């Protein structure tokens, strides 16, 4: 089922504490392969995958028709540092970001803004996972 996922991304998905029914926010989704796999694993949950690239979002939507039609996956074109919940949108249980410059230390000011936006989109106690651990690490959001 995870045929379009690289071994590295598969390892990351397997390391996430996913449970059926969760709401997951993926930041920097690219063409959507990891979002589709997460959606498959959380059953009747929901994944919102965001990316700052219009091209990436178009590719992700094109490859995710079944998941979108089932209501388990949605995409939004926005940068992490500009992300906000839409009116009435429920918060997310956890967030994951792989190779996102605003969150890996490459862009400290954008990172501060992104962490604040992500903290505001998660349930109390919600966690942000990024690459760079074994294979993931948790980014503290309490300074956001």
**Domains identified in the chain and CATH numbers:** 7-139 (3.40.50.150)
Mean pLDDT of the chain: 93
Instruction: Tell me the per-residue pLDDT of 28-58, one tens digit each, with 9 for 90 and over.
Output: 999 999 999 999 999 999 999 999 999 999 9
Residue 14, classed as helix, strand or coil, is: helix
Instruction: Tell me the per-residue pLDDT of 96-117, one tens digit each, with 9 for 90 and over.
Output: 999 998 888 888 899 999 999 9
Q: Does the predicted TM-score (pTM) go above 0.85? A: yes
* 75-87: average pLDDT: 96
How many degrees, rounded to 5, is the angle at CA 39 between CA 14 and CA 144?
A: 75
pLDDT at 68 over 60: yes
**What is the percentage of the chain residues whose pLDDT exceeds 90?**
83
Supply the pLDDT for residue 1.
Answer: 46
Supply the pLDDT for residue 144.
Answer: 53
Instruction: Tell me the per-residue pLDDT of 110-136, one tens digit each, with 9 for 90 and over.
Output: 999 999 999 999 999 999 999 988 899
* Distance, CA of 122 to CA of 95 (rounded, Å): 8
Peptide bond into 135 cis (omega under 30): yes
């Amino acid at each position: 089922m995870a045929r379009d996922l690289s071994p590295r991304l598969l390892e990351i998905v397997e390391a996430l504490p996913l449970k059926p029914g969760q709401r997951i926010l993926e930041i920097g989704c690219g063409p959507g392969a990891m979002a589709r796999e997460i959606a498959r694993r959380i059953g009747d949950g929901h994944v919102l995958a965001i990316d700052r690239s219009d091209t990436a979002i178009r590719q992700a939507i094109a490859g995710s028709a079944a998941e979108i039609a089932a209501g388990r996956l949605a995409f939004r074109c926005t940068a992490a540092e500009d992300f906000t919940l839409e009116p009435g949108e429920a918060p997310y249980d956890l967030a994951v970001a792989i190779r996102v410059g605003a969150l890996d230390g490459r862009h400290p000011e954008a990172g501060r803004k992104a962490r604040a936006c992500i903290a505001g989109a998660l349930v109390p106690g919600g966690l942000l996972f990024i690459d760079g651990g074994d294979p993931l690490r948790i980014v503290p959001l309490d300074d956001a």
